[in-house]
Amino acid sequence: MDALFEPLASALGASVDQIKLIFCLLVAYPLGSLFVRVPSSKPALRHLFNVSVAVAFFFPILRIYSAFFQLLASILATYFIAKYDKSKQMPWRVFFVVMGHLTINHVIRAFNNQSYETVEVTGPQMVLTMKLTTFAWNVHDGRLPASSLDAWQSAKRITTYPSLLAFLGYSFYFPGLLVGPYLDFAEYTELVNESVFKQPDVKSKHNSGRMLPPGRKRAAYMRMVMGLAYLGAFVVLGGSWNYTAALKPDFAQMSFLRRFLLFQTYGPLERSKYYAIWTLTEGASILTGLGFTGFHAQTHQPQWTGAANVIVSRIELPSNFKVLLDSWNMKTNVWLRECVYKRVAVKGKKPGNRVTAITFFTSAFWHGIAAGYYLTFFTGALITSSARLARQSLRPLFLSPSPYASYKPIYDFLATLTSIAILNYTAAPFILSTWSDSIKLYKVLGWYGHIVVVGSLVLFYAGGVRWARGMQRRLGVLQEKGEKGKGGKENASASASASASGAGTPVEEKNMVVPPLDKLVPPPS
Active-site residue, from 101, 296, 367, 450: 367
Q: What is the pLDDT of residues 79-100, one digit of tens each?
A: 999 999 999 999 999 999 999 9
Among 188-202, 288-302, 452-466, name the most confident range: 452-466
Q: What three-state secondary structure class fits 293?
A: strand
Whether the CB-CB separation of 188 and 171 falls below 8 Å is answered with no
Band of pLDDT at residue 454, cut at 50, 70 and 90: very high
Judge whether residue 518 has pLDDT over 50: no
Strands 292-295 and 302-304: antiparallel
Question: Largest alpha-carbon pair distance within the chain?
Answer: 73
Helix segments in 433-484, DSSP class H: 435-444, 448-459, 465-475
Q: What is the pLDDT of residues 8-30, one digit of tens each?
A: 888 877 889 989 999 999 999 99
The pLDDT value given to residue 525: 45
Closest-CA residue to 189 (of 145, 144, 147, 142): 142
The pLDDT value given to residue 209: 57
The pLDDT value given to residue 452: 95
Q: What is the pLDDT of residues 109-150, one digit of tens each?
A: 999 888 777 899 999 999 999 999 999 999 999 999 999 999
Judge whether residue 519 has pLDDT over 80: no
12-18's contacts with Cβ under 8 Å and 24+ in sequence apart are 12/235, 13/239, 14/117, 14/519, 14/520, 15/117, 15/118, 15/519, 15/520, 17/62, 17/117, 17/118, 17/119, 18/117, 18/119, 18/518, 18/519, 18/520, 18/521
Judge whether residue 299 has pLDDT over 90: no
Band of pLDDT at residue 278, cut at 50, 70 and 90: very high
Report the percent of the chain where pLDDT is more than 70: 90
The rounded distance, in Å, linking the Cα atoms of 28 and 42 is 21
- With 0-12 / 13-18 / 19 or more C-beta atoms within 10 angstroms meaning exposed / middle / buried, residue 483 is exposed
The pLDDT value given to residue 267: 93
Amino acid (one-letter) located at 68: F
Active site residue 367: yes
Question: Angle at which helices 465-475 and 371-393 pack, to 10 degrees?
Answer: 30
Query: Lowest-confidence range among 193-197, 240-244, 484-488?
Result: 484-488
Report the percent of the chain where pLDDT is more than 90: 64
The pLDDT value given to residue 353: 63
Judge whether residue 481 has pLDDT over 70: no
Mean pLDDT to the nearest integer, 41-56:
97
Mean pLDDT to the nearest integer, 505-519:
35
